[in-house]
Each structure stands twice: as C-alpha cells, then as structure tokens.
A and B are shown apart, each in its own frame.
Chain A
Amino acid sequence: MDKIETIQIIDGNQAAALGAKLSRVQVIAAYPITPQTPVTEALSEFVERGELDAQYVAVESEHSALAVCTSASIVGAKAFTATSSHGLAYMHEMLHWAAGTRLPLVLACVNRAIGAPWNVQNDQQDSISQRDTGWIQIYARNNQEILDSVIQAYRIAEKVYIPVMVCYDGYILSHTEMPVSVPTQKEVDKFLPKYKPHTLLDPQNPKNYNLVTLANPRLNAENVLCHGYMEIRFLLQEALQNSRETIIEAGREFGKLFGRSYGLLWKDRMDDADIVIVAMGSLALEAIVASDMLREEGYRTGVVGLRVFRPFPKGDVVAALRGARNIIVFDKNISYGLEGATCSEIKSALYGSGVNAAIRNFIVGLGGRNVAARELADAVKKSLSPSADKTLNREYPEWICYI
C-alpha cells in the first residue's frame, strides 16, 4: 500500500506553504513581513523550481497582495496569501471586499502583535481585530494543524464561498520545527474537489461585479428584483451561520482520509471538569499542561481550545461548558476598553443558556511575553480562591505581566 504521508520536521511557515502547495493554488500574491516572510519565500521557490504550477505575483504592499488575490479569485483562480500584524491591517479594506464578494480565498495569518509600540513577536491582536470582516477564522495549535487546516480551508471556502483565515502563533509555531505528517499530492487531490466559481469573466456572458449597490432592492433591465446592500450582507451572515456544517464535514472527511479529525473546538478532560480553561492557538496546548498540573493537585480542570473563532461556535461552546462552575479565559489579545475578545464572546454565547459559572479573564502573552504553564495554573488558582472577588478585578480583565 502506498504511503499516504511522510513525516517531515518543519516549522509552521513551512507547514502553511506546503498546505498551499498541496492545495494546488494558482495565484500567490504576498508581501513579506516578519514572522511570515519564510512562507512567501518557500512558495516562490516552489514556483521557481516548477514544483507548483502557479503565478507568483510580487506586489508592493499587503493591500495590493489581497487586491491581486481578489482579482484572481473573481476570475475563477485559486488564490493564496499570507501576512501578519501590520500587513493584515494594511489589507483591512480588502478583507471586507473579499468577504463581500464571497470569494474562496485562503489567508495564512502568522499572529503577531500590532504597534505601537513596535513589536514583531506573537500575540493574536492582529487576527482578532479582523473578526468583523466576514472571514471564517481558524486557529492552529501546532504545525500539523496548520498544514491540515490550510488544506481544509480550501474545501470549506469553495463550498460556502466565504474566505478563510488560518491563524497561527508567530515564532512559537512559525519558527519552531516539529514533526508533521505531510500528505501526498495524490491524497490531497482526493480531498479537494474541483473549484466551481460563482464569478467568472466570460466575454460570452459579460458581468459586472460589485457594482454600486444601493440601500433598496431594484429591478434590473430584465425586470428581475436584485438585492439591495443589506440583503447581500444578510446572505454573508447566513452563509457564515450555516458554514458550521461544512466545517465539521470537512474535518470529518479529512479524518477519514488522513486519520486526523477536526472540529470546531478541542476538549481535554472535559468529561468531569467543573473548572474550565479556555484558550486559542498554541496557548490551548500550554493550557493542557497547566490543567495537568492542577489535576495533580486535586482540581477537576479541563480545557476547551477554540479552533474556529468565526463563525463563533455558540452551541458547541455552550454544550462544552454546560458542567462548568468556573471558567477562566486566557486571551492573547484585548478589545481595548473592554476585555479579551474570547472572553466577551464566551459570555455572549452563554447568555440565556442557563450555564451558571463564574467567568474570569486574564490577558497574557502580548507582544511575545512568555506564558508559562505555571502562570496559567496560578491564575486559575487565584480565580478559585474565596477572596477572588476582592483580589481580582471584577469589571476588567487581569493582566499577567509586570505592572
């Protein structure tokens, strides 16, 4: 029997680049930015060596990168880009544009802090800041998940016509090598069906895309009632809500072919946990180390690692947290003026669910600040202390840092 995978020791950037290569992307436009640069270098090398039959378009900015990808996608090509931090911010308006045009783009976001002050190290503020744009957002905990999620992203995006952002922690994953099972091209070809674009530029059937769309629906020249702006936006939200099934199906089918299944969130020791730690990205694995430490001390802890942040898996989160009495959410980001984004969204999901748990939020790891499992465990213990309401901030999150 032919081997369907080989194990390679690669870093997260290489994993992302391999994912794009195996997905047979046709157009790559990306601008280098630390810590994403090796992704662009790897992909340009694949193209130059003839290993990947794609157009590598050198652009002068991230905004242009996503503009090129959008244009390529709108004429039916499979496109890919990667960026971080300021680069993602620079393409912000195009993120809206791609989602609004319902294009199946895949973007790898190597999570990095945003300035000011200037910092090239890891946190998740960049992708969290873009959670309103209408993209599906998937977070990887390790390099295997990066590779696998980029491949699944194309299957998901092309089925639901929503662009997908695969996010992974800069340096912690992007520059750290770990064993990754790399599938063969043949097997990935089995997993990814042929793309059927909903937009095409065809002189036989000329179309105008993204014309000015006014508030109200209107009759077109053929007397067909066309959507107003709001209806088109409704369709995006509806598609996001419904994409849950496609995401689950892609993860399940991936599991059948490659032996690794994926869902919306990861659960560790949740069967009997009443203290739940919630985290996203590589932090979710650190949280498991912390949880194991706490279990040894007699605490009944479990971990919920969020994989899909958009669409926010409300029902699944509620089901996972049903038995929790204490929920401690660690955020590597903060929606300034309020609290960590994951925490807010957990609270929103739990509203009206009947889950009656104390929820604490800790801001950790900003700007690449090291997060030790012990610090997470200590924060959990602080949250459980009977004097927690007096010692911990009630209104705003606690920060694990030196202030």
Chain B
Amino acid sequence: MGTRSCGHICGESSPGIGEAGITGDWRDSRPVIDLDKCTPSKKNKPSCFQCWLYCPEAVISKTIPVEINLEYCKGCGICAQVCPTHAITMVAEQGRGSA
C-alpha cells in the first residue's frame, strides 16, 4: 500500500468536496425541509437562509428552494435548531445499510 505519490512531507490537504469522505453515512437522522414553512422557498424571494449560514459543513445551498446535499450532511441538526419558522425537522434514518 506504500506510496509517495502525494508528495506531502507534513499533514496537508486542499479544500475539496468529499475530502473527509462520504460523510452522509455518518448520520442517524436527516433534516427535512417543509417548503411551505421555509421563508425564501415560500415567498420565492432571497431571504433568511439562516440554515445555510449556520451549517458547519456547507451542505445547504442558498437557493430557492433551499436544498441540502444529503451525500455529505452529517445530521448535526443545527439547521433545524436555527430555522426561525421551524421549517426543518430531523427525521430518523431507517436501515440504510445493506450487505
């Protein structure tokens, strides 16, 4: 398994999507947005976006409608906590793995 192809002599990385791996596998529950309650999605106008601002993994898009990249979302639930209209609920993941 030995290789020097990375050329690094100390721990180093460049920013890149998925640098830490497919972290979506880490979560126990996923955020689900109720678009009827989500202010920008409902009003079709850029506003709020607190979930985008607070997401520590930058997997929420500042778009209309708001979208969450579930390949990388770790299910921390911060978006649900900060949403002022309680538009986001954390829903338990059910048996995703299979042999």
**A–B proximity contact (CB within 8 A):** yes
Given A208-B15, A221-B16, verify A101-B5 contact (CB < 8 Å).
Answer: no
Q: How far is B11's CA from A236's CA once the two chains are assembled, in angstroms?
A: 12
| Chain B, residue nearest A206 (CB) | B15
Decide if A102 touches B19 in the complex (CB within 8 Å).
no
The majority secondary structure among interface residues of chain A is loop
Q: Of the candidates A209, A222, A239, which one forms a contact with B16 in the assembled complex, judged by CB atoms under 8 Å apart?
A: A222
Decide if A225 touches B21 in the complex (CB within 8 Å).
no
Size bin of chain A's contact surface: 20 to 34
Task: Collect the chain B residues with CB atoms within 8 Å of residue A220's CB.
Answer: 6, 13-14, 16, 19
Decide if B6 touches A227 in the complex (CB within 8 Å).
yes
How many whole Å from A227's CB to the nearest CB in chain B?
A: 6
Given A220-B19, A225-B3, verify A207-B9 contact (CB < 8 Å).
Answer: no
Decide if A225 touches B14 in the complex (CB within 8 Å).
no
Q: Is A217 an interface residue (CB 8 A)?
A: yes
Decide if B13 touches A226 in the complex (CB within 8 Å).
yes
Q: Is A210 an interface residue (CB 8 A)?
A: yes
Decide if A225 touches B6 in the complex (CB within 8 Å).
yes
Task: Collect the chain B residues with CB atoms within 8 Å of residue A210's CB.
Answer: 10-12
How many whole Å from B58's CB to the nearest CB in chain A?
A: 14
* CB proximity to B under 8 Å, residues A77-122: 100-102
Task: Collect the chain A residues with CB atoms within 8 Å of residue B9's CB.
Answer: 102, 161, 198, 232, 235-236, 239
Q: How far is B11's CA from A398's CA once the two chains are assembled, in angstroms?
A: 44
Q: Is B17 an interface residue (CB 8 A)?
A: yes
Q: How far is B61's CA from A83's CA once the two chains are assembled, in angstroms?
A: 50
Q: How far is B11's CA from A210's CA once the two chains are assembled, in angstroms?
A: 4
Given A220-B19, A221-B16, A221-B19, verify A209-B11 contact (CB < 8 Å).
Answer: yes
B residues with CB within 8 A of A: 1-3, 5-6, 8-19, 21
